[in-house]
Homo-oligomer: A and B are copies of this chain.
Amino acid sequence: MSRILIVEDDERIRSSMRLALEEEGYDVDDVGNGEDAVTLFGAEPYELVLIDLMLPGIDGFETCRVIRRQSTVPVIMVTARSDTHDVVAGLEAGADDYVTKPFVAKELAARIRALLRRSRHDGEGSAVLSFGDVVIEPEAGVVRRAGVEVHCTRTEFRLLCELANHPGKVLSREQLLERVWGYDYFGDGRLVDVHVRRLRTKVEPDPALPRFILTVRGMGYKLAV
């Protein structure tokens, strides 16, 4: 299961957290201060880090910042201070969530699951692409809209994936021709238009007024973010 690092100076809280998480099936390490946390984090792979705010030496904010500088690992701040200012500061320091003590083990576990779910998901090789109510499963070669499968041809599917892989970025016709049709393709750039149109009829709520597959005049096409 996932490896989790706990950074907490209070011995009792630390071991109770550790127990609770091991109960959930996680592989847990724990340290009592920020320096050790940074050292250990550099030496071992962790999938998530829990940091207490009040630490001897460098505090939780700073520890979080240092870790964030070298990694995008999910970080949860676990602390007694529930002041809005602290919450905001913690999140701005790079934490993904902020839980106040006394916390309930079940809730912390749920938040950890939610965070791991997301971080795995938007990690590389995300199995699923989506926009609006459209879901694309590149592996399965399936496109669904509002749950129902939409049949796409091979070219349409590749084109859709190419757009969905770069949401918000404008892709020129040349780029699309190269990536969807192949490096050696010498054809009319208008060809892209036709396939975009066909895609729109299958994927857009109103193909006449596209909301997702947008044309950027003179530049190409892009998927709305």
Contact = CB atoms under 8 A, between A and B. Distances in A.
A131 interface: yes
Contacts of A119: 118, 122
A72 B219 CA distance: 28
A35 B138 CA distance: 29
B114 A91 contact: yes
A114 B219 CA distance: 32
Contacts of A95: 114
Contacts of A113: 91-92
Interface string A151-172: 0011101000000001111100
Contacts of A73: 130
Interface stretch (A11-19, A179-187, A209-217): A209-217
A140 interface: yes
26 contacts: A41-B132, A44-B132, A44-B211, A69-B147, A70-B130, A70-B132, A70-B134, A70-B135, A70-B144, A70-B147, A71-B135, A72-B121, A84-B104, A87-B107, A88-B106, A88-B107, A91-B111, A91-B113, A96-B114, A96-B115, A118-B122, A121-B122, A121-B123, A139-B168, A154-B218, A157-B219
Nearest to A169: B139
Interface residues of A, number: 71
Interface of A: 2-3, 38, 41-45, 47, 69-74, 84, 87-88, 91-92, 95-98, 104, 106-107, 110-111, 113-115, 118-119, 121-123, 126, 128, 130-135, 139-141, 144-147, 153-155, 157, 166-170, 205, 211-212, 216-219, 222, 224-225
Given A72-B122, A72-B130, A139-B170, 11 more contacts: A3-B225, A45-B211, A47-B225, A70-B130, A70-B144, A84-B106, A91-B111, A91-B113, A141-B216, A141-B222, A153-B217
